[in-house]
Protein backbone atom coordinates (compact mmCIF):
# COMPACT_ATOMS: atom_id res chain seq x y z
CA UNK A 1 0.00 0.00 0.00
CA UNK A 2 1.43 3.38 -1.06
CA UNK A 3 0.86 5.76 1.83
CA UNK A 4 2.39 8.87 0.24
CA UNK A 5 1.53 10.18 -3.22
CA UNK A 6 3.64 12.88 -4.83
CA UNK A 7 2.61 15.21 -7.61
CA UNK A 8 3.52 15.96 -10.21
CA UNK A 9 5.38 12.82 -11.18
CA UNK A 10 7.51 14.69 -13.73
CA UNK A 11 8.23 18.40 -14.01
CA UNK A 12 10.32 20.22 -16.61
CA UNK A 13 10.75 23.97 -16.24
CA UNK A 14 12.97 26.80 -17.42
CA UNK A 15 15.68 28.25 -15.23
CA UNK A 16 14.30 31.08 -13.09
CA UNK A 17 10.77 29.72 -12.79
CA UNK A 18 9.09 28.78 -9.53
CA UNK A 19 7.59 25.39 -8.77
CA UNK A 20 5.77 23.44 -6.07
CA UNK A 21 5.87 19.71 -5.40
CA UNK A 22 3.18 18.07 -3.29
CA UNK A 23 3.25 15.07 -1.00
CA UNK A 24 -0.17 13.83 0.12
CA UNK A 25 -1.52 11.07 2.31
CA UNK A 26 -4.62 10.02 4.19
CA UNK A 27 -2.39 8.93 7.08
CA UNK A 28 -0.95 11.03 9.89
CA UNK A 29 2.82 11.19 10.30
CA UNK A 30 4.90 12.12 13.34
CA UNK A 31 7.44 13.76 11.02
CA UNK A 32 8.06 14.16 7.34
CA UNK A 33 11.32 14.39 5.47
CA UNK A 34 12.33 15.54 2.01
CA UNK A 35 15.25 13.99 0.14
CA UNK A 36 16.89 14.83 -3.17
CA UNK A 37 18.53 12.16 -5.29
CA UNK A 38 20.82 12.56 -8.28
CA UNK A 39 21.21 9.79 -10.88
CA UNK A 40 23.35 6.89 -9.70
CA UNK A 41 23.52 8.12 -6.13
CA UNK A 42 21.63 7.59 -2.89
CA UNK A 43 19.05 10.13 -1.65
CA UNK A 44 20.32 12.97 0.52
CA UNK A 45 18.22 14.54 3.26
CA UNK A 46 17.10 18.14 2.68
CA UNK A 47 14.87 18.81 5.67
CA UNK A 48 12.74 17.26 8.41
CA UNK A 49 9.46 18.84 9.56
CA UNK A 50 7.83 17.65 12.76
CA UNK A 51 5.13 20.14 13.77
CA UNK A 52 1.78 20.58 12.01
CA UNK A 53 1.83 23.87 10.08
CA UNK A 54 5.61 24.15 10.31
CA UNK A 55 7.43 26.03 7.57
CA UNK A 56 11.15 25.65 7.00
CA UNK A 57 13.30 27.53 4.52
CA UNK A 58 16.54 26.34 3.04
CA UNK A 59 17.87 29.08 0.76
CA UNK A 60 15.47 29.02 -2.24
CA UNK A 61 13.57 25.98 -0.95
CA UNK A 62 10.52 26.32 1.32
CA UNK A 63 9.02 23.27 3.00
CA UNK A 64 5.64 23.16 4.70
CA UNK A 65 4.02 20.46 6.83
CA UNK A 66 0.24 20.40 6.75
CA UNK A 67 -1.71 21.36 9.85
CA UNK A 68 -3.06 17.82 10.19
CA UNK A 69 0.38 16.31 9.52
CA UNK A 70 -0.94 14.37 6.52
CA UNK A 71 0.68 16.32 3.71
CA UNK A 72 3.62 18.50 2.80
CA UNK A 73 4.83 20.75 0.03
CA UNK A 74 8.17 21.82 -1.35
CA UNK A 75 8.38 25.16 -3.13
CA UNK A 76 11.45 26.19 -5.11
CA UNK A 77 11.94 29.83 -6.05
CA UNK A 78 13.95 30.79 -9.13
CA UNK A 79 14.89 27.23 -10.01
CA UNK A 80 18.44 26.56 -11.19
CA UNK A 81 19.86 23.66 -13.23
CA UNK A 82 21.52 22.40 -10.02
CA UNK A 83 18.05 21.75 -8.60
CA UNK A 84 17.54 18.97 -11.14
CA UNK A 85 16.95 15.61 -9.52
CA UNK A 86 14.44 13.23 -8.00
CA UNK A 87 12.65 14.65 -4.96
CA UNK A 88 11.30 12.15 -2.44
CA UNK A 89 9.16 12.76 0.60
CA UNK A 90 9.17 10.25 3.45
CA UNK A 91 6.96 10.00 6.50
CA UNK A 92 7.61 8.52 9.92
CA UNK A 93 4.87 7.01 12.07
CA UNK A 94 4.97 6.36 15.79
CA UNK A 95 5.85 2.75 16.52
CA UNK A 96 7.17 2.05 13.02
CA UNK A 97 10.82 1.18 12.44
CA UNK A 98 10.83 2.32 8.83
CA UNK A 99 10.04 5.43 6.83
CA UNK A 100 7.31 5.43 4.19
CA UNK A 101 8.63 6.92 0.98
CA UNK A 102 6.59 8.80 -1.59
CA UNK A 103 6.37 8.00 -5.28
CA UNK A 104 8.91 10.70 -6.22
CA UNK A 105 8.94 13.80 -8.43
CA UNK A 106 11.48 14.01 -11.24
CA UNK A 107 12.46 17.67 -11.71
CA UNK A 108 14.41 18.93 -14.72
CA UNK A 109 15.49 22.58 -14.83
CA UNK A 110 16.46 23.66 -18.33
CA UNK A 111 19.20 26.33 -18.60
Partner 1 sequence: SQTIHQWPATLVQPVGSPLSLECTVEGTSNPNLYWYRQAAGRGLQLLFYSVGIGQISSEVPQNLSASRPQDRQFILSSKKLLLSDSGFYLCAWNRLAGFADTQYFGPGTRLTVL
Give buried/exposed letters for 67-94 (b at 16+ CB in 10 A, else e): eebbbbbbbbeebeeebbbebbbbbbee
Q: Which stretch binds partner 1 (CB under 8 A): 14-22, 61-69, 71-79, 85-93?
A: 85-93
Q: How far is the CB of 34 from partner 1 (least distance, A)?
A: 11
Distance separating alpha carbons of residues 1 and 34, to the nearest angstrom: 20
Q: Assess 103 for contact with partner 1 (CB under 8 A).
A: yes
Residues in 31-50 that interact with partner 1 by CB under 8 A: 33, 40-45, 48
Q: How far is CA 17 from CA 3, 11, 35, 61, in A?
A: 30, 12, 21, 13
Q: Assess 66 for contact with partner 1 (CB under 8 A).
A: no
Interface residues with partner 1 (CB under 8 A)? 6, 30, 33, 40-45, 48, 86, 88, 90, 92-93, 96-99, 101-104, 106
Amino acid sequence: TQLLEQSPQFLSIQEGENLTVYCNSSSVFSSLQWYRQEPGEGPVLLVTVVTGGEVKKLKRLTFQFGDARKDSSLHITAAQPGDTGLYLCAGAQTGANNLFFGTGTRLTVIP
